[in-house]
Amino acid sequence: MTGFAAATYMRGVRWLCLPTTLLAMVDASVGGKTGVDLQSAKNAVGAFWQPSAVLCDIDLLQPSRSAGS
């Protein structure tokens, strides 16, 4: 949603991507396609707009420890 907003507002503004899952990190590193899901179709509205940077924090990929463990 943020990427699509950045691509369409004033014909494009800079944005940073901060993915938090492994899939999102891989997708963001080669992506640029920003889409919005509608009720009738997935990614029906979208744009191609590369982020200015993709910041991947691999510490987010570590399993969290619950208080009971």
Give the 3-state secondary structure percentages of the chain, helix then strand then coil, rounded to 5.
35, 15, 50
pLDDT the model gives residue 56: 92
**Per-residue confidence band for 30, with pLDDT thresholds at 50, 70 and 90:** confident
- What is the phi/psi pair of residue 46, to 5°? -170, 180
Q: Is the pLDDT of residue 26 over 80?
A: yes
Q: Is the pLDDT of residue 67 over 60?
A: no
pLDDT the model gives residue 37: 82
pLDDT tens figures, 1-22: 777 787 788 778 888 888 899 9
